[in-house]
Structure 1
Amino acid sequence: MILPWIIGIILTAQPMASPNQLTITKDGNVVTKFNQTDYFYPYADVPIIHINKYEQFLEELDRKVGIAAENAVLDQNGNIIPEKIGRQVHRQSFTEQVYSHYFNQDLSSLELPMRTVYPTVDSELLNDIRNLRIGRYVTSFNPSNKNRTNNIKLAANAINNYVVFPGETFSFNKVVGKRTKEKGYQRAKVIVRGEYSEDIGGGICQVSSTLFNAVDNAGLEITQRFSHSRHVPYIPPGRDATVSWYGPDFEFKNNYNQPVLIRARTLGGLLITKLYSSESLHYNPKKVPNPIY
C-alpha cells in the first residue's frame, strides 16, 4: 500500500527529470533493474506512481531477497521448535529513495533498505499456551483409503500449531488454503447436492468437522458452520462442518482473553484435534456428543 506521505511528495514535487534505469543492489550485489518508465505514469508533470505495478515489483523483490519469519511450533513430541526472525524490504524507505532518484539523476544505483520482521508466535508465548487443554475431539477414518487419508493428513497439518489470538476469527478455508494437486491433494469421495461424487481434496470435511467439535467443546464462539446435505458416517448427526473453497466455510472466534493453540494430527485411523491455552485462562467448556468409532 502506498502510504499517505507519498501524496505530499507528489504535491510538492518539481517536474520530473528524464527517466532512466536504476540498479537495485543488496550487500553490493545486483538484485534487479528498476526502469522508471515501467512504474510511473508517462506525460505527467509530477511523478505519479502506478500503484498496482509498483506493489507487484515490491512483492517480487521480497521473494528474491526477503526471509520469511517463522513462528515457534511444537513437534509431535511436544517439544518447542524456536521461531525464526525474518527480513523484508523496507518499503517506505525504498520508495523515498526511488522518488529522490527522480530529482537527482546522478544516482545510478540504490542499495535495498531492509527491515526486521518478527514472528507472531515466539517460544515464550507458545510455552505459555501449550499446557492447559480446553477442548478435544477424535474421529476415525479408514487408513486403507489412501487418497482420502492423504487429504486428511494435509489439512490436519495445515491447521496444526495455528494460534488464534483474542478477538481473532479463524477461517478454515483461509488457513488451509485452496485444495489443489500442486499442494498434494488427491481425488476422493465428496458430497455434492446430496449425492456422492469425487473431487480434489475429498475428506477434508472430516478435519473441519473434528475441529468444530473440539472448538465447541472449548466453549469458543462459532461464527459460521454448515452441515452436509446428507449424513456423514464419521460424526454424530448434525455435528459436521462442511467446507468448500468456493462455498461454505467453518469459522470461529476466540472470545477468550488468551490465545488458543490448535493441535491436530492423525494416529493410525484416528484424527485427533486438541485446543490449548494459558493456565491463567478462565474458560467455559461445553459438553459435545461422543464421536462415532
Structure 2
Amino acid sequence: MKVTALIFLLLFIPMNPIFAEVDFNDNKIMLDKLEIKQYSLPYMDGLFIDEKKLTFLMDILKEKIYKNPQNASLDKNGEIVKGKPGVTIDRDKFNVLFRKMFYSNSDMKLEVPKKLIYPRVDNALLEEIRAKELGSYVTYFKKSNLERSHNIALATEAINNYVVFPGETFSFNEIVGERTKEKGYKRAPVIVKGELAEDIGGGICQVSSTLFNAVDLKGIQIIERYEHSKRVPYVPPGRDATVSWWGPDFVFKNIYNQPVLVRAKSDHGKMLVSIYSSEDVEYFSGE
C-alpha cells in the first residue's frame, strides 16, 4: 500500500526540467536522452511517458522560446512599418520527436522545434484598411500642463494603430492598461465624484472621450460608456466617456464587414482620432 501511495504522489508532482544546452542568442534548446527519460512514469521501467509532466515541459519550453508577433503599423508620416512574425514551440512536431526519441536507442540530442506566429495585421491588410476615413474628432488641451499632456500622449500611443476586426470589441481599459507610475503616467487633475482632484493618469479621459466621438458611427455599436459627474471642457455636454482602471470603461463593437483602424495622435495641445477602413466597408443594418 505504501508503494502504491508513493507512485500516486509522484504522478502529481511536477519536475523541473533540466536543459542540457540553451543558446540564448537564437533560443535554440537541446534535450539529450537522459533529460527525455526523466519524463517516464515512475516504477514503470521507462515503458510509459508521464503525459502531465510532458505537458508541463512544453509549457516551460514555450515560455523560453515565445516571441510576440508585431503587427504592421503606420508611422507618423503615414508610411507602413512592416510587421514581424513571432515564434513559439511547435507542439505537434515536438510531441512526435519526443516520443520517437523516448522509445529509441539513439543518443542523439533533440532540438526543440519552433514555428512562426504570423501577425494578425500584415502589410497588405493595413494598406487596404487605411483607404477610407470613416470619421474623426479633435479636442484641445493646455500644452503648458506638462503632466497632463504627457499622460494624454502615452494613452494616445497605446490606442494608435489598433485594428478592430468585424464582430470584435474594443475595451479602452484593456488596450491602454492600468495607468501607473511604472508605465510612466504622472499625477494630473482628475474629476472624482464631481470634485477636481489629482491622481495618477489624469487626462486619460480626454483620450477616451475623443475616441468615443470619432467612433460614434453607424457601423460602430457603443457597448459601454459613462459620462463624468461634472462637465468637462474638451467636449460638448453629454459627449464625454469617463474611464478609470477600477471603474468605468469605454467599450465599443465593430459591426462593419471590414476591420477598422484607429489612428490617434496628440501634439502641441491637439488630440486627434481618426477611424479608417477599406473602400468597400459596409455595416449590417438588420433590415
When normalised by structure 2's length, the TM-score is 0.79
Query: Aligned with 1:216: secondary structure?
Result: coil
- Tell me which residue corresponds to 1:221: 221
Total equivalences in the alignment: 264
Query: Aligned with 1:190: secondary structure?
Result: strand
The answer to whether the 8 Å contact 1:168/1:253 transfers is: yes
Separation in structure 2 between the aligned mates of residue 97 and residue 182 of structure 1, nearest angstrom: 43
Q: Superposed, which structure 2 residues align to 1:231-246 within 5 Å?
A: 231-246=231-246
- In the alignment, structure 1 segments of 5+ residues that lack a partner are 1-17, 285-293
The answer to whether the 8 Å contact 1:165/1:254 transfers is: yes
Question: Deviation per CA, 1:30-59, whole angstroms, max 9, x where unpaired?
Answer: 648897899999789861426996565234
RMSD over equivalenced CA pairs, Å: 3.3
- In the alignment, structure 2 segments of 5+ residues that lack a partner are 1-14
Once structures 1 and 2 are overlaid, which stretch shifts more, 134-143 or 185-194?
A: 185-194
Question: Deviation per CA, 1:238-285, whole angstroms, max 9, x where unpaired?
Answer: 11111122222111111010110100001311100000011112359x
Superposition deviation, residue 118 in structure 1: 1.0
Larger radius of gyration: 2
Separation in structure 1 between the aligned mates of residue 64 and residue 42 of structure 2, nearest angstrom: 23
The answer to whether the 8 Å contact 1:82/1:122 transfers is: yes
Separation in structure 2 between the aligned mates of residue 174 and residue 72 of structure 1, nearest angstrom: 20
Q: Superposed, which structure 2 residues align to 1:1-293 within 5 Å?
A: 21-23=18-20, 25=22, 31=29, 47-49=50-52, 54=57, 57-62=60-65, 66-98=66-98, 103=103, 107=107, 109-217=109-217, 219-282=219-282
Change beyond 3 A, Cα 1:20–1:210: closer
- Tell me which residue corresponds to 2:3: none
Query: Aligned with 2:52: secondary structure?
Result: coil
Change beyond 3 A, Cα 1:19–1:89: closer
Separation in structure 2 between the aligned mates of residue 22 and residue 267 of structure 1, nearest angstrom: 50
Separation in structure 1 between the aligned mates of residue 113 and residue 241 of structure 2, nearest angstrom: 46
Q: Equivalent pairs: percent with the same residue? A: 49
The answer to whether the 8 Å contact 1:189/1:196 transfers is: yes
Change beyond 3 A, Cα 1:70–1:22: closer
The answer to whether the 8 Å contact 1:166/1:256 transfers is: yes
The answer to whether the 8 Å contact 1:41/1:50 transfers is: no
Question: Deviation per CA, 1:11-40, whole angstroms, max 9, x where unpaired?
Answer: xxxxxxx99845355699864889789999
Change beyond 3 A, Cα 1:207–1:24: same
Give the letter aligned to residue 165 of structure 1: F
Give the letter aligned to residue 180 of structure 2: T
